Amino acid sequence: MIVAVTGGAGFIGSHLSEALLAAGADVHVIDNLSSGYRANVPAGAVLHETDIRSPEARTVIACIRPEVIYHLAAQADVQRSIDNPVEDASVNVEGTLNMLEASRQAGARKFVFASTSAVYGNVAKEVVSERAKAEPMSFYGLSKRTAEQYIRIYSQLHGLDYTILRYGNVYGPRQTPKGEGGVVAVFLDRLRQAIPPTVHGDGEQTRDFVYVKDIVAANIAAFARGARETLNVGTGRATSVNDLLRLLELCRGAPIARRHAPARAGDIRHSRLDPRRARRVLRWDSAYDAAAGIAETYASTLPSSL
């Protein structure tokens, strides 16, 4: 089977490419290396260094004729979307549209999209199901939500199958301390530099932190399941910033000094995803709790002396 992975030089896309190769797929990565790295692309995958908005990217897809397109390439930084909404919409909306056109023209069977819990915005409920109204609070959430709508209408008009996966806060090896929800990567980066990590507010705010290998497993399951579905991919568990630091202290075997800063304005206090639909439809479940995921991330990121 031939698959295309846009954003395959990035954090999540590179893990997905590895898993697809291990499953025996011919993997073609489309990435302009704007936030990803050539070194992330696993050996055995073909890197096509081009922009998802370009005619060249469409030509690549026309030539390789993938059965499934995993569309992960994105402008994935919330703050950047607020600073430069035009660029954000260009990459996330136009880029997705260009990849949908390419999929249709190449006769691809399926489009699997990396969406985000940011499409929900500030939901009053602590546990967010797919039925919650999507009211994004950032241009990033809005551009992802808009891309989702393009995918649905493409499917209705052209019969292209899809699965939209709305990820929680993903963490794991190779994540850089920028982009969406990268607090684990930020903390590890501070530890590497021997700078105390900063905790905003009391650190008891919680999120649904999901390990990258669980995200990959959901994507692999979506190869054959989840037709025309929009699914939350999270653990369904709440992990606080203080919990993360406690787990990092366990890995380190020593206390971690921290700085305190005021709570961020507009920060949601508690949020976690309801993953029950993904469990049922994809026959998938998260296999890593925060302790296991943080331990693996720590071991692969920091030398044992730190």
Catalytic residues: 140
Least separation, in Å, of the C-beta of 226 and ligand NAD?
16
Terminal-residue alpha carbon distance, the chain: 43
Distance of alpha carbon 131 from alpha carbon 113, whole angstroms: 18
Contact residues: ligand NAD, CB under 6 A? 7, 9-13, 31-36, 51-53, 72-76, 91, 95, 114, 116, 167, 169-170, 179-181
Judged by CB, which is closer to ligand NAD: 73, or 188? 73
Angle between helices 212-221 and 11-22 (to 10 degrees): 50
Give the Cα-Cα-Cα angle 301, 289, 210 (nearest 5 degrees): 70
- Are 232 and 277 contacting, i.e. CB atoms less than 8 angstroms apart? yes
Judged by CB, which is closer to ligand NAD: 149, or 260? 149
For CA atoms 81, 122, 144, 236, give the dihedral sign: positive
Q: How far is CA 266 from CA 124, 252, 269, in A?
A: 13, 32, 9
Provide the token pair at 65.
């004729």
Least separation, in Å, of the C-beta of 194 and ligand NAD?
25
Least separation, in Å, of the C-beta of 257 and ligand NAD?
26
Provide the token pair at 258.
């921290």
Judged by CB, which is closer to ligand NAD: 176, or 242? 176
Tokens 């206090």 sit on residue: 269
Tokens 């950047």 sit on residue: 80
Least separation, in Å, of the C-beta of 304 and ligand NAD?
26
Judged by CB, which is closer to ligand NAD: 13, or 42? 13
